[in-house]
Structure 1
Amino acid sequence: PEVIVVDLGLERNDAIRLIQQLRQLYPVPVIALAPPDAEHAERAVQALNSGVAEVLVRPPQGDFIGARRLGERLVDRIRAAIHTARPIPKNPDRAPRRAASFSSVGLDPARYVVAVGASTGGPQALRAMLRCAPRDFPPIVIVQHMPVFFTKSFAANLDHHCAIDVREAVGGETLAPGTALIARGDTHLVLARDGLNWTVRYTDSRLVNLHCPSVDVLFDSAVAAGSFGVGVLLTGMGADGASGLLHMRRAGALTIAQDRQSSIVYGMPKAAAESGAAALSAPPERIPGLIARRLADAARSTPQPVSVK
């Protein structure tokens, strides 16, 4: 087979075990379907941790409109998986090599804000990246294309594996170092200034680049951070985030795209690289250290004010 589709509505152990067995036998992308409820949210996260590239919501029986939409999305995902995706590597879950702390390179993490966008293959890329972030890493705001039923469980699972705190954004939070907030799966999340602090808030549910939340919406709101902003665009289909990342770079932000070799789908990062939006590229696990080094270099090269007596 060129792609495998698994229904997580099977008995819990059977579905996850089946995915693991299939991945051992067939090195191809796996897509999972799951009903929209709390029980299957946990199962969806397990599936992602087992190497599933993406989980789609299966509507309840009798929802013919929802079934038609699922069919259209599934066809798109299968075509993309056949032509552009690669299977998630079956590497063991090795201990992360955490990046150096910001204090060790002379930086105040509270001065910066990191905006991250991801889609297909993003859960694995985010896990690799966030596990390598030190406890005093700058605040992170994330848009991961994922159904609203799964984002809270996904954030909780990441929190279990990271030194920093990871949770689903409620809206209205003041950002702090050592914290990552993940957008709910049905509303755009943006950064906003509140005096000297950054906060996040939800706006609306209109589709932007066929997505809500949209990475471009988040990145465009991060333009105001200027040279104290960092934009990171990870694996995913399409081009959501490339335009906003370019706007961030033009405003002076450090911009990074996931490299081709580590991307499950080199779509969004490719669009960023080809448009000149990404100044750098790297695999996810190296991005926290790269951010710390580049920001430290920029801080050292910035002329310091001279006091006149």
Structure 2
Amino acid sequence: MTSQKVRVLIVDDSASVRQVVTTILSEDPDIEVMGAAADPFAAARRLEKELPDVILLDIEMPKMDGLTFLRKIMAQRPIPVVICSAATEKGSQLAFEALEAGAVDIVPKPRVDTRQSLVEASGRLRDAVKSAARARVKQRTARPLVVEKKLTADAMLPPPVETRARPKTERIVCIGASTGGTEALAEVLMALPADSPGILVVQHMPPGFTLAFARRLDGLCAINVKEAEDGETVQAGCAYIAPGARHMLLQRSGLRYHIAVKDGPPVSRHRPSVDVLFRSAAQYAGRNALGVIMTGMGDDGARGLLEMRKLGAATRAQNEESCVVFGMPKEAIALGAAEKVVALDQIPREIVLWHQAAHTAAAE
């Protein structure tokens, strides 16, 4: 990005939300709020005069809903759009329809009841806006707050160490994604056969949305997809989505993998964190794991993927051309964490070939 500020248009029918979001974004020296509109019609009049770099858009509004407005934007003149929505069941379902229509990210509406929740919302909003400004968007046919200290995975578990040899027959796939990841993950998981190994997924997403995301994918995929629960056993043919605002770790008991869902501080400024998942996979799965880092802003997952590779895991990174935002994969590649860099549409094939090679080696 250049040194120019990211110019944002806020579209929300709540005056209090417009005020709070304007304050949060304006405190970032790299962001300029060019205006705020109470409904899509007022926003459209503003867009006739000047175009923002990013639109922050509510879903449920009077006169015209945000989803209809988004489809019009993406069909006529695509602009990066971030959905700012309440985490109700109806709101989360509509938000995922918005992602399918071309929005690049979802952020929760900021709460002002506690300072901590406002601090976390502030960082998430600013990161989402700056990430969206870098995003590749395609034309669609109509259809002062304290900055949190950036922690590493040490805040949740110690660095992995090589211990005894692990059985070669158990396989696990761990995937991390952020901006652009919801649709990218759908493409990957929909292409996988029902007999795929167990898959753990961290997608940066606010609480309240991960359950709806998992249900949406479950209806589209041959594998089962669900929101992860603490203590459950990892089953082949199932993908587990980390709950919003909680870390997900892979653990092991005997020959079985199980999932731990834990509270804790944000790691690499995210909760759930890809670094936390990848580090736990390095420790408990080692060479029996495949780590995949996909589209997203920042560096979450890069160090964890390197730890996986050092302990014998196979590792893949999505290439720049197929990423909405080439941030997380870029950082992982720079660290030497990725054995291979592949396009999005090749990731399912990489998972299948890796899994087949493991079975062939076990048979020999």
Q: Same fold (TM over 0.5)?
A: yes
Residue of structure 2 equivalent to 1:205 = 264
1:266 maps onto 2:326 in alignment: yes
Residue identity matched to 2:343: P
Picking from 83, 105, 117, the partner of 2:176 is 117
Structure 1 CA distance, aligned partners of 2:245 and 2:184?
21
Structure 2 CA distance, aligned partners of 1:232 and 1:134?
17
Residue of structure 1 equivalent to 2:32 = none
Give the superposition deviation at 1:5.
Answer: 2.0
1:25 maps onto 2:96 in alignment: no
Residue of structure 2 equivalent to 1:51 = 102
Residue of structure 2 equivalent to 1:153 = 212
Greater shift, 18-27 or 109-118, is seen at 109-118
Structure 2 CA distance, aligned partners of 1:70 and 1:123?
20
Structure 1 CA distance, aligned partners of 2:319 and 2:138?
15
Residue of structure 2 equivalent to 1:74 = 125
Residue of structure 2 equivalent to 1:243 = 303
| Structure 1 gaps, min length 5 | 94-108, 305-309
Structure 2 CA distance, aligned partners of 1:76 and 1:11?
28
Give the superposition deviation at 1:11.
Answer: 5.0
Residue identity matched to 2:96: V
DSSP 3-state at the match of 2:65: helix
CA spacing shift, 1:163–1:148, aligned 2, 3 Å: same
CA spacing shift, 1:68–1:248, aligned 2, 3 Å: closer
1:38 maps onto 2:89 in alignment: yes
Structure 1 CA distance, aligned partners of 2:125 and 2:311?
37
1:87 maps onto 2:147 in alignment: no
DSSP 3-state at the match of 1:5: strand
CA contact (8 A) 1:87 1:264 kept: yes
Greater shift, 168-177 or 268-277, is seen at 168-177
Structure 2 matches for 1:250-289, cutoff 5 A? 250-289=310-349
- The percentage of counterpart residues that share the same residue type is 38
Residue identity matched to 2:86: P
Superposition TM-score, scaled by structure 2 size: 0.73
Structure 2 CA distance, aligned partners of 1:12 and 1:131?
36
Residue of structure 2 equivalent to 1:104 = none
| Structure 2 gaps, min length 5 | 1-50, 144-167
CA contact (8 A) 2:76 2:139 kept: no
CA spacing shift, 1:92–1:225, aligned 2, 3 Å: farther
Residue of structure 1 equivalent to 2:292 = 232
* Bigger-Rg structure (1/2): 2
CA spacing shift, 1:294–1:69, aligned 2, 3 Å: closer
CA contact (8 A) 1:29 1:85 kept: yes
Structure 1 CA distance, aligned partners of 2:262 and 2:353?
34
DSSP 3-state at the match of 1:111: coil
Give the superposition deviation at 1:70.
Answer: 4.1
Residue identity matched to 1:177: A
CA contact (8 A) 2:71 2:142 kept: no
Structure 2 CA distance, aligned partners of 1:193 and 1:69?
32
CA spacing shift, 1:13–1:281, aligned 2, 3 Å: farther
CA contact (8 A) 2:278 2:291 kept: yes
CA contact (8 A) 1:36 1:59 kept: no
Give the superposition deviation at 1:28.
Answer: 2.7
Structure 2 CA distance, aligned partners of 1:249 and 1:89?
38
Structure 2 CA distance, aligned partners of 1:143 and 1:270?
18
CA contact (8 A) 2:107 2:128 kept: no
CA spacing shift, 1:289–1:147, aligned 2, 3 Å: same
DSSP 3-state at the match of 1:264: coil
Give the superposition deviation at 1:203.
Answer: 2.3
Aligned Cα root-mean-square deviation (Å): 2.6
Give the superposition deviation at 1:170.
Answer: 1.4
CA contact (8 A) 2:105 2:132 kept: no
CA contact (8 A) 2:74 2:139 kept: no
Residue identity matched to 2:82: I
Give the superposition deviation at 1:256.
Answer: 0.7
DSSP 3-state at the match of 1:129: helix
